[in-house]
Amino acid sequence: MIRLGTGRLSLKDLRAIAREAPEIELDPQCIPKLKASQAAVERILASGKPAYGINTGFGRLSQTRIADGELEELQRNIVLSHAAGTGPLLDDATVRLTLALKIESLARGYSGVRPLLVERLLELYNRRLYPRIPAKGSVGASGDLAPLAHLSLALLGIGEVQHPQPIKLAPKEGLALLNGTQVSTALALVGLFAAEDIFAGAVAAGALSVDAAAGSDTPFDARIHELRGHAAQRDVAAQYLGLLDGSEIRRSHLENDPRVQDPYSLRCQPQVMGACLDQLRHAARVLETESTAVTDNPLIIGDEILSGGNFHGEPIAIAADGLALAIAEIGALSERRIALLIDPSLSGLPPFLVEHGGVNSGFMLAQVTAAALASENKSLAHPASVDSLPTSANQEDHVSMSTFAARRLGEMAANSAGIVAIELLAAAQGIDFRAPLRTSARLQEVHALVRSKVAFYDHDRYFAPDITAIQALLEAGAFHRFVPGLFASR
């Protein structure tokens, strides 16, 4: 059971919500805060003063005063009119996170909503009544308006998924539901956790490729990385060194090896993957902070109503752009190692990692697939946060594009997972060709995990199912046990 409304949600909590759907509950201490905030809205209304979104229109229509008899209609109409999204539906993990993040934000007691509204959202989550939310239609300011409007329809008893006890919205509640960065944050968290899973697999694959190619472990010496000074680089180098420790293959070429240095895709893994790890860790800190942020507008603080811009998704957009770069580079480096392994002049292994080449094509097209996926990610990695199109008649004249910045991470992560899956297959194949020499004890476990799903490639066969099987392991987080301690969410 995860408790919301405390202002404390850990990355482990968030990963659990995304992957395991644990039950959630509201911290009882939130109820007095919610009631006090609701009472403040009522006092503001009783004063007769104009207050944005409470007794005025929205956006460019904020100067239009709304009569008391139309306040309920005002809140309902904003939900109906803003439910204008399009495209495929968000997956259940993203919707779960969105619900949990919206509950956390509202429960803090600065949004002027009733406890009843928060309780209804809790019931949607715990009953697994996941609203159907189109993925497209948000520019990430004023928050994720369109997708959050689609979420809110369920509370009103509208749409394919409905709460069994629909409610009528009180003043401020429609606006509080729609304003906020919860969809962008949820999408970015899903992308972050996928990136972490791929990263773990890529480190294991990279170490296995070093041994498959009879590479050196000297580039992972801690003294090298201490002189560079980057903590993530040091952390990753230690993982590679630990994975390779005790390898018979490495001992077999310690002396009289004519090669002086390995190609960069083997030798520079700590530098490249360390930089990627820095990006993942930075994004994790940003998103953990955002997960408990109050991001609607206006905010009720005491008896004051303060209009600001916490709904602007720029922190998420920039963090997501950094994640995109990291995901692309993880895949790009992995693809280069695949290319190395299938080239006998570099790896010393049979061409395309198969016996009887010519009759058998081996890993020839698997590397082509990896190249195609890596190239696609290069285009998808273009930063989204640098784009902005004014909306709402130029009232919202700079927007973040955080929703797309975060949403494309899922596709990019799937691409890189496919690449790393191919590398794991190729590296395992290379290790088999090194027999009777054996890799390290830890890398034997990595090899055994791959072989538990896919047999040695002794002749050409239908290749795609092999990739799918290993990609499923990657996406399930099966390789984290080989590289413990890298991520706060685990």
Give tens-digit pLDDT for 175-225.
Answer: 999 999 999 999 999 999 999 999 999 999 999 999 999 999 999 999 999
Note the pTM of the prediction, 2 decimals.
Answer: 0.96
Give yes or no: residues 148 and 18 share one domain. Answer: yes
Answer yes or no: do 226 and 153 share one domain.
no
- Predicted confidence band of residue 48 (pLDDT cuts 50, 70, 90): confident
264 is catalytic: no
Residue 254: band (very low, low, confident or very high) from pLDDT cuts 50, 70, 90: confident
Write out the residue range of the structural domain in which residue 356 sits: 188-482
The CATH number for 20's domain is 1.10.275.10
% residues pLDDT > 70 (the chain): 100
pLDDT at 64 over 80: yes
Task: Tell me, yes or no, whether 264 and 401 share the same domain.
Answer: yes
pLDDT, position 51 = 86
Of 52, 125, 240, 457, which is the active-site residue? 52
- Read off the pLDDT of residues 300-309 as tens digits, 9 standing for 90 and up: 999 899 999 9
Same domain, 155 and 232: no
pLDDT of residue 344: 97
Statement to judge: residues 125 and 259 lie in one domain: no
* Same domain assignment for residues 171 and 196: no
Q: How many domains does the chain have?
A: 2
Average pLDDT in the chain: 96
Mean pLDDT of 144-150: 97
243: domain CATH number?
Answer: 1.20.200.10
Q: CA torsion sign, 264 to 267 to 271 to 272?
A: positive
Residues 175 and 306 in one domain: no
Residue 194 sits in the same domain as residue 143? no
Confidence of residue 434 (pLDDT cuts 50, 70, 90): very high
21 pLDDT band, cuts 50/70/90, is very high
Q: Are residues 167 and 248 in the same domain?
A: no
Q: Give the pLDDT confidence of 278-300 residue by residue, as tens digits.
A: 999 999 999 999 999 999 999 99
Specify the pLDDT at position 325: 98
